[in-house]
Structure 1
Amino acid sequence: MSDSPFKGTTGIKRILNATGYSLAGLAAAFKGEAAFRQLVLLSVILIPLSFYFDVSRVERAIMIGVCLISLVIELLNSAIEAVVDRISLERHPLSKNAKDMGSAAQMVGLTLVGVTWLLILFP
C-alpha cells in the first residue's frame, strides 16, 4: 500500500475514480492542447478510412493502433510540458530537454503512423 493519501480507494470505487480522472485528462488535453486536437482530427479521418482499404484485420488493427499510440504520446508529451511549466516558467536547459524530448517522441510517433500506413497500403 502506498503512503499517498490519494491512493486510498480500492475495487469498483477506484475504477470509477480512475475513469473520471482519465476523462478529465482527455477533456483538458482537448481543450488546452491544439496538437492533441489536430491528432484527434487526424485519427477521426484515418481510423474510419482504414475500413475503406482492402487490408487484413491484423493490418487494419495495426493502422488503427498506430493512430492511438500517437494520441497516447501526445497526452504524455502534454503532461510533461504541464509538469515542467508547473515547476517553473524560468528557462532552464533541463526543462528545454524535457520538452524537446517529448516533442521528439511525438515526431517518432507520427513517423510510425506514416511509415506503417505506407508499408501496408503500398507493399
Structure 2
Amino acid sequence: MANPETALKEAMTIEGAIGVALVDYGSGMALGTLGDSAELDLNVAAAGNTDLVRAKMRTMEMLNLQDNGIEDILITLSSQYHLIRPLTTSGGRGLFLYLALARSRSNLAMARHQLRRIEANLEV
C-alpha cells in the first residue's frame, strides 16, 4: 500500500505526466499536488474539476443509474489529456486523483491502466 505522497510521485512517472493532484471533492481542495508546469495551476484545476465530479455524480443519481460509480472521466484537449479517477477504497471516498498528460508524449490506454493500479494501492 502506498501513501498519498508516494502515489503522487508514482503518477508523475507515467509517460507524458504534466501534473497530478489528490483532491477532496467535498471541499474542492487539493490534499497534495506534484508537477511544476507553468501551463497548469493544479490548485485551480483541482477546484474546477471538483464541480465536474459533483455534477456527474448528481446526474447519475437523477438518472437512477445503479452502476458501481465513476471509473474515470476523460477530458481531451488539443494538447493535453486530463484524467479524473474517483477513489473507490473505503478510506478514499470523497477523493479523486487528477492527472494531466501531454497528449503528444502519452499513451492514454497505458496511463489509465497505471492510474487504476496507483489508485488500487493508495492508502489514505
What TM-score comes out, normalization by structure 1 length? 0.32
Q: Which has the higher contact order (CA 8 A, sep 6+)?
A: 2
Q: Which has the higher strand share?
A: 2
Q: Which has the higher helix share?
A: 1
Larger radius of gyration: 1
What TM-score comes out, normalization by structure 2 length? 0.32
